[in-house]
Amino acid sequence: MALKKIVGEAITYDDVLLVPAKSTVLPRETEVRTRLTRHIDLNIPLISAAMDTVTESSMAIAIAREGGIGILHKNMSIRLQAEEVDKVKRSESGMILHPITLGPNQTVREALEVMRKYSVSGIPIVQDEKLVGILTNRDLRFEPNFELEVSHLMTAGNLVTAPVGTTLGEAEVILQKHRIEKLPVVDKNGRLKGLITFKDIQKKKRHPFACKDKLGRLRAGAAVGVTSDTMERVTALVDAGVDVLIVDTAHGHSKGVMAMVKQIKARFDVELIAGNIATAEATRDLVKAGADAVKVGIGPGSICTTRVVAGVGVPQ
């Protein structure tokens, strides 16, 4: 018996218009916060796609500052994708828990490379975990000898620091009082435990609705597939601080995707989304496998051609 070619009627976005009605609500009074997973809230219901023409660290930073979240694409090496996550997590923070540091014997050349790579203007100098100095781009600006050790240029005496537990408000007062931009946080033994920057405090004021984790860092997601190196990729992304992973395929209702969801959830305490899907049955199966959320919809878009090329999907 031949299968029915038409299974039902469906509509897509272009088929729908909203009829305007009387309203007493002003735009500024609206509330658009939503929940991505049980443990991740968004201040605006927007997610940027995990496509190599859409989301890398710059896009992820921009959308997180507005209250959404970006999903970093997987069309790059494991190392590069983890570095992209790290760039987002380091872009701003309440307190940077693991700041970039250098040793006193490292060179001006190495310092410039680190500053350029991470877009930072100052670096704590540590020896045996203890803070021994601060190096800023002003210290390096007119130094012609790239092989000179940073210990000859760093500020070492009368360092302004703060104890563990200092709030952002207290830190702001200290920064303004001493007219400095970076405040190292040290324990009672002088070991570096974090870094608070004036720029991060200003960014918090400038982007009050930013999507951040409990440590005040911007949130970021990343896509993975179902290839042989996926678990290695997941490990690197989790170590970099990723907030949510997406097992991202054109056909999410498949044995390989469900097996990968189970494997990731068994090994890692991380929020996990799976997709893409187009049916209620697929939703139930992925949730049963352990997915915290599902990604609904299969092309087409301005770039995504899955429905056109593969001939699968539903209007959306």
> What is the third-level CATH fold of 13-92+211-310?
TIM Barrel (3.20.20)
The ranges assigned to domains in the chain are 13-92+211-310, 108-206
Per the listing, tokens 């038409």 go with 6
Q: Cβ(71)–Cβ(48) under 8 Å? A: yes
- pLDDT by 10s per residue, the chain, length 316: 456 667 778 787 788 999 999 999 998 899 999 999 999 999 999 999 999 999 999 999 999 999 999 999 999 999 999 999 999 998 888 888 889 999 999 999 999 999 998 888 999 999 999 999 999 999 999 999 999 999 999 999 889 999 999 988 899 999 999 999 999 999 999 999 999 999 889 988 899 999 999 988 999 999 999 999 999 999 999 999 999 999 999 899 999 999 999 999 999 999 999 999 989 999 999 999 999 999 998 877 667 777 778 777 777 7
pTM, full prediction: 0.82
Q: Return the CATH number of the domain spanning residue range 108-206.
A: 3.10.580.10
